[in-house]
Amino acid sequence: MEEHGEFLIPASRNEVWRALQDPLVLKQCIDGCEQMTVINADEFECAVTVKIGPVKARFNGTISILEAVQPESYTLKVAAEGGAAGFGQGQAHVQLHETNEGTRLTYAVEGSIGGKLAQIGSRLIQSFSRKMARSFFESFSKQWVA
């Protein structure tokens, strides 16, 4: 599955960059995220409950920040295990561009799933991942709208 999109955020590139590294911000923006623990500056552990079609499960995962080019771009790598429900892995390549109205954030997400999720929920994965990515960046950009 692949997914991409962009958002315009009324904030400077540095502000956005900092927020993108902040585990608290990440936690708020990930739908169903119950816990976010910092392992080190570039690695977090999280627990997320998601429901995809008939499969509802709690996933434990790690989020790592790779290829960080401050304050322009980074890659967020996620690997999550949902026990009997299956597993997922993916990465989001995020780029920040300065514009007159603020920062334009573009993202490209790719990922794969396995286990029960892949067997029962594969038809739903495309729309689910689109929704999940969109909702993350939407929540993320809303921080500056309020």
Partner 1 sequence: MNAETGIGASALRKEDARFITGKGQYTDDINVFGQTFCVFVRSPHARAKIKSIDTASAMAVAGVIRVFTGDELTADGIGDLPCGWVVTSKDGNPMVAPAHPPIATEFVNYVGEPYAFVVAETLQAARDGAEAVSADFEVLEAVVDTGTATSSAQIHENVANNQAYDWELGDKDATDAAFAQADHVTSLDIVNNRLIPNAIEPRAALGSYDAASQTYTLYTTSQNPHVERVVLALFVQVAPEANLRVISPDVGGGFGSKIFVYAEETAVIWASAKIGRPIKWRADRSESFLSDAHGRDHVTKAELALSSSGEMLGLRVKTIANMGAYLSTFSSSVPTYLYGTLMAGQYKTPAIYVETQAVFTNTAPVDAYRGAGRPEATYVVERLVETAARELGMDPVELRRINFIPTDAFPYQTPVALQYDTGNYAASMAKALELADSDGYMARKAASEAAGKLRGRGYSCYIEACGLAPSQLVLQLGAGVGLFESAEVRVDVSGSVTVMTGSHSHGQGHETTFAQLVSDRLGIPFDSVNVIHGDTGRSDYGLGTYGSRSIAVGGSAIDKALDKIIAKGKKIAAHMFETTDDQVDFADGQFSYAGSNEPKPFAEIAGAAYIPAVYPLDELEPGLSEKAFYDPSNFTYPAGSYVCEVEIDPTTGETDIAKFVAVDDFGNVINPMIVEGQVHGGIAQGIGQALLEHGIYDSSGNLATGSYMDYAMPRADDLPDFQVDMTSTPCTHNPLGVKGCGEAGAIGSPAAVMNAITDALGVKDVSMPATPQTVWQTIQQGT
In eight-state DSSP terms, residue 10 is S
Among 115, 132, 140, 141, interactor with partner 1 by CB under 8 A? 115
How far, in whole angstroms, is CA 10 from its chain's centroid? 20
Q: What is the CA radius of gyration of the chain?
A: 15
Integer Cα distance of 54 and 31 in angstroms: 18
Binding-site string for partner 1 from residue 66 to residue 85, where x marks contact by CB under 8 A and - marks none: -----------------xx-
Binding of partner 1 by 118 (CB under 8 A):
yes
**Does 114 engage in binding with partner 1 (CB under 8 A)?**
yes
Q: Strand 33-40 to strand 2-9: parallel, antiparallel, or no bridges (unpaired)? A: unpaired
Interface with partner 1 (CB under 8 A), residue from 35, 49, 99, 119: 119
The residue ranges that bind partner 1 (CB under 8 A) are 83-84, 86-87, 112-116, 118-120, 122-123
